[in-house]
């Protein structure tokens, strides 16, 4: 990747991101996949950076999964989203931040649709009033949570306890970034860095000392693809996509993968186990896989949080080789201990993929 050329592209796709006062909405699935990620996002923003982030227990799904699986019409999704906006209006906020990439894409798509077709917005306002007697103001700004960590990246770097440097070699860690498809492929101007070479994760990696690795299938889908996975008969397509990506990145020997989507880290993490069991292949060093982290988990690691407090034990691919490279101290005996030292059940170890 030629840095100067990318800087020119990135300069055309920068967006103003408000610094403070955000209404935060969670993802439907991330809390099951990597439950530490969203908790750490709020912890970092509220406690470390002292920003104002508000969330309410009354918000629901945005309907994005059902919409992209073609099971509900867009008007239904719009009404669900209109209700979320009404919660934001009720709480007195104007900046809206979504944890989920698909939600972010969904909100942007809906706001753009309303801008193009104001009569649709009027109809949705009527439908929301009939359904639950609510009214709303449109958000002044919609961001994805990774946009905010991108914005705060230098503040995080200034408080960092660890840099993305291999302590055994002194070299920057080789990091592969993977952007969720719904981040900017639909509306390139709404993402930091555009659609082809989004800068949002590259900026974090560079700021925290790592080296971004380019590889042929960099912009390929992670394999989740909604209908590819949700229909069991189609899951072969899903794992085939992931396999194609890993085959493409393997010659570049990345130390870990950084993602900003709910589905991508899950599938790139779990499918490594399936690929190992079916093809006998592992992509990391010494039989391990390539660890896949979310940007919140990485920010937490850089800031020096205990890896087991941020939920890294819930990854299929062992993160210990990465922690060793970073120089993060951890107690292996505490890996499966929950709150108040409660012993969690230990997972069965896979046959091929080395996990401890």
Residues at the site binding other proteins, with contacts judged by CB under 8 A: 1-2, 5, 214-216, 232-237, 239-240, 243, 248, 251-252, 274-275, 277-279, 351
- Closest distance of CB 216 from other proteins, Å: 4
List CB contacts of 12: < 8 A, sequence separation 6 or more: 194
Per the structure block, which two tokens stand in for 75?
């008007």
Nearest CB to other proteins, comparing residues 235 and 337: 235
Nearest CB to other proteins, comparing residues 86 and 184: 184
Q: For residues 16 and 282, what is the distance between their CA atoms, to the nearest angstrom?
A: 41
Nearest CB to other proteins, comparing residues 102 and 242: 242
Nearest CB to other proteins, comparing residues 79 and 316: 316
Report CA 251 to chain centroid distance, whole Å: 25
- Closest distance of CB 192 from other proteins, Å: 19
Per the structure block, which two tokens stand in for 85?
């906006």
CA dihedral 42, 45, 51, 56 (to 10 degrees): -10
Nearest CB to other proteins, comparing residues 96 and 243: 243
In sign, the C-alpha dihedral spanning 13, 26, 208, 95 is positive
Nearest CB to other proteins, comparing residues 160 and 355: 355
- Closest distance of CB 230 from other proteins, Å: 13
Q: Quick one: which H or E segment has residue 211?
A: strand 211-212
List CB contacts of 7: < 8 A, sequence separation 6 or more: none
Cβ 257 vs Cβ 290: under 8 Å: yes
Placement of tokens 């639950």 in the chain? 132
Q: For residues 66 and 158, what is the distance between their CA atoms, to the nearest angstrom?
A: 41
- Closest distance of CB 170 from other proteins, Å: 23
- Closest distance of CB 240 from other proteins, Å: 5
- Closest distance of CB 196 from other proteins, Å: 9
- Closest distance of CB 279 from other proteins, Å: 7
Nearest CB to other proteins, comparing residues 215 and 330: 215
List CB contacts of 46: < 8 A, sequence separation 6 or more: 52, 53
Q: Of the candidates 253, 241, 168, 263, which has an alpha carbon nearest to the alpha carbon of residue 213?
A: 253
């Amino acid at each position: 990747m030629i840095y100067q050329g990318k800087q020119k592209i990135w300069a055309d796709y920068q967006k103003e991101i408000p610094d403070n006062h955000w209404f935060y909405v969670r993802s439907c699935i991330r809390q099951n996949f990597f439950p530490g990620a969203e908790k750490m996002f709020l912890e970092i923003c509220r406690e470390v950076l002292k920003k104002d982030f508000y969330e309410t227990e009354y918000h629901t799904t945005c309907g994005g999964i059902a919409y992209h699986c073609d099971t509900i019409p867009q008007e239904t999704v719009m009404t669900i989203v209109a209700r979320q906006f009404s919660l934001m209006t009720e709480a007195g906020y104007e900046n809206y931040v979504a944890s989920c990439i698909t939600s972010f894409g969904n909100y942007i798509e809906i706001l753009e649709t309303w801008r193009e077709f104001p009569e649709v917005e009027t109809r949705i306002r009527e439908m929301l009033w009939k359904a639950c007697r609510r009214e709303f103001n449109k958000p002044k700004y919609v961001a994805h949570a990774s946009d905010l960590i991108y914005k705060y990246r230098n503040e995080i770097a200034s408080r960092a306890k660890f840099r993305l440097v291999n302590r055994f070699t002194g070299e920057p860690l080789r990091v592969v970034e993977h952007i969720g498809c719904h981040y900017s492929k639909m509306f390139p101007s709404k993402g930091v860095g555009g659609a082809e070479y989004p800068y949002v994760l590259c900026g974090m990696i560079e700021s925290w000392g790592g080296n971004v690795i380019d590889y042929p299938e960099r912009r390929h889908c992670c394999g989740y693809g909604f209908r590819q996975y949700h229909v069991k008969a189609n899951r072969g397509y899903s794992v085939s996509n992931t396999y194609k990506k890993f085959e493409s990145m393997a010659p570049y020997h990345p130390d870990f993968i950084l993602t900003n989507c709910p589905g991508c880290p899950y599938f790139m993490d779990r499918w490594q186990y399936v690929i190992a069991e079916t093809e006998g292949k592992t992509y990391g060093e010494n039989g391990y896989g390539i660890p896949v982290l979310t940007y919140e988990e990485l920010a937490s690691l850089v800031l020096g949080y205990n890896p087991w407090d941020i939920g890294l034990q819930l990854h299929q691919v062992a993160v210990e080789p990465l922690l060793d490279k970073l120089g993060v101290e951890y107690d292996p005996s505490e890996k499966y201990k929950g709150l108040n030292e409660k012993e969690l059940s230990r997972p069965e170890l896979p046959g091929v993929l080395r996990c401890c």
